[in-house]
Structure 1
Amino acid sequence: MSETLESDLYQRTKALLEPGDVELVGCIVHTELSSQEDLEMHELTVDANEVIADHAGKGETYIEAGNDDTDFSSNQFQGRTLDEEAFVWECQQLLREGTFDVVFYYEVGVDQEALAADLTDLDGVDRVTQVP
């Protein structure tokens, strides 16, 4: 990915984290997955859900898909707790220069470095950029 595109993606991600009802941090998961690898993209999102929920200490979660709710767009997902349907994380899958970048954001308090290391270990992930 070109430095200009990556910088733009980083800046846009930071803008999503600006103060609101919940203080958020995030990361960009740069993948090796192309637009033809829908099943692998789905599996990566499911695996990332488990990793983020574990690091957030939120217990069991489920994934709400953008196409299940008119408040979201396609390729936008949320991880929510099973017991209270509380927010755990949200992501957007973005196709950039032929491969997906997935922007995740979640509540402050997660060990960003440990989370990034575990996300990097998932199949299809090239690298992870932390966004404070």
Structure 2
Amino acid sequence: MSETVDDDLYKRTLALLEPGDIELVGAIVHTDLSGQEDLEMQELTVEINEVISDHAEKGETYIYAGNDTPDFSSNQFQGLTIDDESFVWECQQLLRGGTFDLVFYYEAGVEQEALAADLDALDHVERVTQVP
């Protein structure tokens, strides 16, 4: 993927983290999964849910697809706690340059370096770009 595309994705992700109700940080998970590997991409999203949830220390989570609300677009998901449906993370699954990039953002306070290292160790992850 070109540096220009990476730079554009980074800037767009950074814009999603603009101040709101809670302070957010993020990670772009660049994968080797092609557009024909939707199932593997979904499985990777489940694995990433577990890693982010562990680092966020918010308890057990589930993945909400938002199919019942017009506020969500396709390939947009949230990780919510089972106990009280609190926000843990949100992601966009993007097909860019022939492979999936998964853009996650989550509440600040997570040790970004440790989280990125754990994400980078997952199968199909090419690299992880941290977004402050």
TM tier, shorter chain?
over 0.9
Q: What's 2:32 paired with?
A: 32
Task: Return the offset for 1:31.
Answer: 0.3
Please list the CA deviations of residues 51-82 of structure 1 after superposition, one character each: whole Å capped at 9, or x if unmatched: 00000000100000143432101100000000
Task: Return the offset for 1:122.
Answer: 1.0
TM-score of the pair, normalised by structure 1:
0.98
Gaps of 5+ in 1: none
Q: What's 1:2 paired with?
A: 2
Give RMSD over aligned pairs.
0.8
TM-score of the pair, normalised by structure 2:
0.98
Question: Counterpart of 2:58 in 1: which secondary structure?
Answer: coil
Q: Give the residue type in structure 2 aligned to 1:65.
A: A
Percent identity of the aligned residues?
78
Q: Give the residue type in structure 2 aligned to 1:72.
A: F
Please list the CA deviations of residues 75-111 of structure 1 after superposition, one character each: whole Å capped at 9, or x if unmatched: 0000000000000000000111100001000000000
Contact 1:66 1:75 in 2 (8 A): no
Q: What's 1:43 paired with?
A: 43
Q: What's 1:107 paired with?
A: 107
CA distance in 1, matches of 2:22, 2:48: 21
Contact 1:28 1:128 in 2 (8 A): yes
Question: Counterpart of 2:73 in 1: which secondary structure?
Answer: coil
Q: What's 1:124 paired with?
A: 124
CA distance in 2, matches of 1:66, 1:107: 20
